[in-house]
Amino acid sequence: MDISAVNALSYEDFVNIFGNVVEKCPLITAAVWTSRPFIGLNALEAAINEFIDALPESGKEGILRCHPDLAGRDLHGGALTRESREEQRRAGLDALSSAEASRMARLNEEYKERFGFPFVVCARMNDKASILRELSERCQNERAAERARGIAEVKKICRLRLQGLVLPDAPNKL
């Protein structure tokens, strides 16, 4: 859909269509609906990012807590959102060897224990090997740095999900 169609959406339709561009956080898209009209995809993305950036640290951690464990029980139990299921599948997280699955589960638990929220990475920009490597490395970070890194990853995920829903901005013709 193009940005004029986005701007014409009712509140309910806007939230139904864009409610999961930030995983399980339809409140964010509900809040940015009032920023319409958007001049383009980039403006819609900027409104979402500004909303996230304005949250207190506890709100940002809340966003991170809405994300599932990568290659966790939600993937295998069919409880992931449609978007997360496809993103994890594309990264190969649905086809881990038993050693990889054990390592992923152990690192996910270590990460959550250390930071209080799940590990978030843009799976569509990674494969299973890079995700496992990054998960291991990021377990060493400080909490504030990891919260900021997780939110940066949330924004990458959001951007890709928005690009799947809205036509890109037309180039400026000078």
Active site residues: 67
Q: Are 25 and 66 in contact (CB under 8 A)?
A: yes
Residues 6+ positions from 156 with CB-CB distance below 8 Å: 122, 125
**How far apart are the C-alpha atoms of 144 and 124, rounded to whole Å?**
24
**Buried-exposed string 83-122: b where 16+ CB fall within 10 A, e elsewhere:** bbbebbeebbbeebeeebeebbbebbeebeebbebbbbbb
